[in-house]
Structure 1
Amino acid sequence: MRISYNKLWKLLIDKNMKRKDLQEKANISSASIAKLGKGDNITTDVLLKICDALDCTLEDIMETIKD
């Protein structure tokens, strides 16, 4: 089982935002954005910053996928 952040990327498109915009608005590092892009592990602190910046919940930006 793995985590997918496809919902996050779709949400950014809906909000007409780029990854750089998210980085600045959520005050997260470019390394965190890169990890999200690769589907790597990311801390819950970063995920909560993203949710706060986008006014959404964790369920709105990520999902689990069976391999």
Structure 2
Amino acid sequence: MPAPYSLPDMLERIYENQLALEAAIMELVLFVERQGDAEAGDNVRGALFTIGENAGHIKQGLARLKAQGPD
């Protein structure tokens, strides 16, 4: 496991924060859609799609960085 505050550790935490924010935003989207604002829901779902796509790239980059060994 990387040392605390190492680059891989820091990036892992940023990635975890991104996933947590994605989940929280999704909860808000569901609430807004239940209130009948489908257009706002669609707009936010578009942003969530981008977040999901970027999360995949971050995860792949993080895996490559960890495979390189200690920083």
Structure with higher Rg: it is 2
> Shorter-chain TM-score: which interval?
0.3 to 0.5
* Structure having the larger proportion of residues in helix: 2
Give the TM-score normalised by structure 2.
Answer: 0.31
* Structure having the larger proportion of residues in strand: 1
